[in-house]
Amino acid sequence: MTSTIFSEIKEELNKGINEYGHPFRFFTLGTLSANNSPRLRTVVFRDFSENWNISFFTDKRSQKVIDIDKNNKVSSLFYHPEKRIQLHIEGTAHLVKNEKIINKHWNQTPEEAKKDYTTSLAPGSCIENQTEIEYLNEENHFCIITIEINTIEYLRLDKPNHAKIKYTKKGNEWKNDFLVP
């Protein structure tokens, strides 16, 4: 049964990347700031690799990158309202350094979306009004963050029982534990 669920998790994560409108297209990312305050935000789920790494794009100057630089343990939350499935994924985040991969994704990014990574001021900087935003012409602050998954906690609300399973990655193997939902 857990292998069926595990396959379902993989399938739904793949759909999050490939299917327009799939609820896993977005996930909530949690980091811990230097002063130990937890911070959450929505990001677009961009890539899911064969070895279970998940990736998103962001601005190198953003708070989440500052947080990850100090503490790369992150939490991610995915929710599928129709299937009533929640995935709580924990892992270790890394800034992708491979220029070829970065350039490939940057070149595939639509021009309008590139603006998200080219504001003159860093994201979160105070401005006088919303029309004051200036963009860089030549430079960008685009980066890719990859999360190496350590654990996936699967929860499905169901009748007569809810189901909760924790999958832990050890090398290339996964072990599973049933949990009280």
The residues that touch ligand FMN, with contacts defined as CB under 6 A, are 26, 39, 41-44, 56-59, 62-64, 123-124
Greatest Cα pair distance in the chain: 58
**Phi, psi (degrees; rounded to nearest 5) at 171:** 65, -120
Minimum distance from residue 44 beta carbon to ligand FMN (Å): 4
State which residue, 25 or 166, has the beta carbon closest to ligand FMN.
Answer: 25
Minimum distance from residue 58 beta carbon to ligand FMN (Å): 3
**Contact status, residue 57 vs residue 17, Cβ threshold 8 Å:** no
Minimum distance from residue 92 beta carbon to ligand FMN (Å): 18
Minimum distance from residue 158 beta carbon to ligand FMN (Å): 28
State which residue, 70 or 175, has the beta carbon closest to ligand FMN.
Answer: 70
State which residue, 26 or 106, has the beta carbon closest to ligand FMN.
Answer: 26
**Strand positions, DSSP E, the chain:** 26-32, 38-44, 47-48, 53-59, 73-80, 85-95, 142-156, 163-170, 173-179
**Distant-in-sequence, close-in-space partners of 149: CB < 8 Å, separation ≥ 6:** 52, 53, 54, 89, 90, 91, 169
State which residue, 29 or 165, has the beta carbon closest to ligand FMN.
Answer: 29
